[in-house]
Amino acid sequence: MRLLMILLGMIVAVGLNAQPKGHQTAILAALNPALRKMSAVDLKLKALEIRIQGDWAFAVVEPTAVDGRAADGVGIGLLQRVKGKWLVREAEIGSDGLTDSVKAWRKKHPRAPATVFKTKPGLVP
């Protein structure tokens, strides 16, 4: 019985770290209008990486035009969940210099966990 309880606890802990599809969909839906303001075309976003820590999320996305044409660079966004809704705090599209933006966002939003910004090496240009 004790072993069963330990295994159940491990399963629950792993499940808490998983990112439910609903969060990803809500984050992309919130981020799209913010990135759209920086683009000349309507966008579709494909998540390259989304990290969620508590009520904060950092997303790296591949924007493409609704008609299928590739957009320039990647999009990034910092979001905060307030009363169950994801709100965009920062967003940017680019092909270089985005790491500098991330550094500035970390200073501007000190309550966002530093680990939420950690992504796969080379993902943010």
Q: What is the CATH number of the domain that holds 61?
A: 3.10.450
Q: In whole angstroms, how far apart are CA 123 and each of 16, 23, 119?
A: 24, 21, 7
How far is C-alpha 96 from the chain's CA centre? 18
| HSE value, Cβ hemisphere, 13 Å, CA-based, for 87 | 7
- Average pLDDT score over residue span 44-64: 95
Q: What is the pLDDT of residue 20?
A: 62
- Average pLDDT score over residue span 27-46: 92
Q: In what side-by-side order are the strands of the sheet with 85-94?
A: 43-53, 56-65, 74-82, 85-94
Whether residue 1 is contained in a domain is answered as: no
Q: Which structural domain range is residue 110 located in?
A: 20-117
- Average pLDDT score over residue span 91-95: 92
Whether residue 122 is contained in a domain is answered as: no
Whether residue 103 is contained in a domain is answered as: yes
Structurally, the chain folds into a number of domains equal to: 1
Whether residue 96 is contained in a domain is answered as: yes
Residue 64 has pLDDT above 50, yes or no: yes
Residue scoring higher pLDDT (41 or 12) = 41
**Element housing 5 (H / E):** helix 2-17
Residue 10 has pLDDT above 80, yes or no: no
Q: What is the pLDDT of residue 56?
A: 98
What amino acid occupies position 77? G
Whether residue 8 is contained in a domain is answered as: no
Whether residue 124 is contained in a domain is answered as: no
